[in-house]
Amino acid sequence: MKKKYLSVALVIALAGSMLTTSCIGNFALTNKLLAWNKTISNKFVNELVFFAFWIIPVYEVSALADVLVFNTIEFWSGNNPVACGKKVIDGQDGRYLVECDGKGYTITSENDNSVVRLDFDAADDSWSVRVNEGESYKLMTFIDDSHVKMITPDGSMQVVELSQSGVWAYQQTATQAAFAMK
């Protein structure tokens, strides 16, 4: 009798585990972005980059791209195109070429040939975003070991001290501006 209950319990547990699994994907683009941010040696710069990418909305766009495009491709094909260095991605609204060259990232739409580029400029220690080979907008510039210039929601640059209080002050500025926009 006990063997029968054990067998039934085992079958129910296995069936239950099959019902609770899901294929949500590995969020490769978002995880690569977060992993890159963690490579920055200063924790205060990590926090500033996080807020800059939240304001611009880089994190939101990467998560949305993962949910709608890359994780779906991974579900059906078994591999995520972002996990590689250069891939063509077929989305619902067209095809995109994503390239990483070690200095930044280029995303090209094959529909209209629009291009978005994220670049690191070693000459002035800054990260910038550029759209369609047009004007480049700096996101962040390293000033010295304890200060950076960060983009604010209104597009101006603010000097931020790389300390807990400096990052907290920048966070408050970004949060207040985000709520003011709503």
Helix (H, G, I), strand (E, B) or coil at 168: helix
Phi–psi pair at 80, nearest 5 degrees: -100, 125
**Can you tell me which residue has the tokens 């800054």?**
126
pLDDT in tens, 83-115: 656 767 777 778 888 787 656 778 788 888 888
pTM assigned to the model: 0.42
Q: How confident is the model at residue 81 (pLDDT cuts 50, 70, 90)?
A: low
Burial classification of residue 142, based on how many CB atoms lie within 10 Å of its CB (0-12 exposed, 13-18 middle, 19 or more buried): middle
Question: Quick count: other Cβ atoms within 10 Å of Cβ 19?
Answer: 8
When pLDDT is averaged across residues 68-79 and rounded to a whole number, the result is 71
* Inter-residue long-range contacts of 54-61, CB under 8 Å, 24+ positions, other chains counted: 54/174, 55/151, 55/152, 55/153, 55/174, 55/177, 55/178, 56/129, 56/139, 56/151, 58/33, 59/30, 59/33
